[in-house]
Amino acid sequence: MSSIKNKLIQSIASLFFKLKGIYQLDHEKARCFWKSEFQGSLLKLIKNNKSKPFGKLNDFSRLKNPTDFQRLVPMDNQSLSEPTSNKQGIENSPARTRGITRVFELIAGWHPWPIFNSDWLIASNLYNHSISWAHLPSWLKRLSASPSEYFTPNWSGIFASADCLVTGSLDSLLKQRVESFPKKPAIVLGEFTGTEISSIKIVSSKIPNHFTFLPIWREAIGLIAIHDPKNNHMRFLANGDFYPELLILEKNKNLKRVSLAEVEKGMKGEIILSASGQVWAKPTGVFVKIENANTLHFSFQEWQGKVPKLFSETTNTETNQPPKKVAQPHLQKAGISAALARTASRTPW
């Protein structure tokens, strides 16, 4: 009886996410969707932080649109992509839960086969030293198992942190799955922070040919983007929890902040993110190229230009005075080499 109940739950969940995923993917093809999405995200962040110290300092009551935001809210020089210190806070973050739910909706919309009709394995020591899925949404627990627990050998996918994938701790599990079911497809989701993006290429070489590898760009504020197997590029996640901008270094060395609702195809620059909790206009160290301005697909880029320092020191040799710091344009130095493998070429759907 229990087995029948579980299968019924899985079938209902699969159908629900399938229908919602197809609707979302179709809905997001319009440029007006992203403009509305990020405008709403910005207004939501401003509203929630008007009364906080940072909001009062920057007079958030005057902010009405992206232009006001770029003009009045400064960009912080400290990069967002740092080792996570508040692991417990992220584990219980509603923004993270919404992001994960959004990811599974998209996966269901991309793939015709029922991805929830067998176990999902959760392999993440990103938040705990032991392998655990406690930080994932409660609805997923009914459909998932941890590699340390009993699970069916024909599992549908793995949700893993970058360290588990890079270190090879899951290699034997992938090999076992391929040997037991050599033709059955599966999905491998991997979470990578901005400082881990360069290891995506390493991980992709370990994934079996008939599996789909979907890297996810994750930061402390939540999930930012996922690889789209249909277009072979990354795409931003629409969940209303962060406000992204593109920081462009123009030929005249001036820095220009552009809302993602206003970007054009071919634009290159560094992504800066704003979110609640006084995390405002923080550089990520991740450089991208906009591949499709309508759907906001992008590819990771390696910054080749000469990045100006935050401060340059000048010494007065005649008076032997201490060096003075002269402010320079603030562009975070970060070279990201993360050529994504052509996963679309080995997607069996």
Q: Are 129 and 139 in contact (CB under 8 A)?
A: no
Give the structural domain span for 202.
2-240
Question: Quick one: tokens of 42?
Answer: 């910005």
Phi-psi category of 253—alpha, beta or left, where left has phi over 0 and alpha has psi -120 to 50?
Answer: left
What confidence tens digit (pLDDT) does each residue in 31-66 have?
788 888 888 888 888 888 888 888 888 888 888 888
On whether residue 347 sits in a domain, the answer given is no
In order of 67, 107, 230, 295, the CA distances from 30 in angstroms are 22, 20, 17, 7
On whether residue 297 sits in a domain, the answer given is no
pLDDT at 96: 78
Total structural domains within the chain:
1
Task: State pTM to two decimals.
Answer: 0.77
- In angstroms, the CA 90 to CA 219 distance is 10
On whether residue 148 sits in a domain, the answer given is yes
Residue (of 130, 137, 138, 116) closest to 161 by Cα position: 130
The residue assigned the tokens 């493998």 is 341
* 264-267 contacts, C-beta under 8 A, 24 or more apart: 264/290, 264/293, 265/290, 265/291, 265/292, 265/293, 266/290, 267/293
Asked if residue 252 has pLDDT above 90, the reply is no
pLDDT at 228: 94
Amino acid at 300: F
- In angstroms, the CA 9 to CA 139 distance is 10
- In angstroms, the CA 243 to CA 233 distance is 20
On whether residue 180 sits in a domain, the answer given is yes
- In angstroms, the CA 152 to CA 156 distance is 10
On whether residue 205 sits in a domain, the answer given is yes
On whether residue 333 sits in a domain, the answer given is no
On whether residue 217 sits in a domain, the answer given is yes
- In angstroms, the CA 257 to CA 332 distance is 14
On whether residue 204 sits in a domain, the answer given is yes
Q: pLDDT band at residue 181, thresholds of 50, 70 and 90?
A: very high
What confidence tens digit (pLDDT) does each residue in 67-83 have?
888 888 888 877 776 54
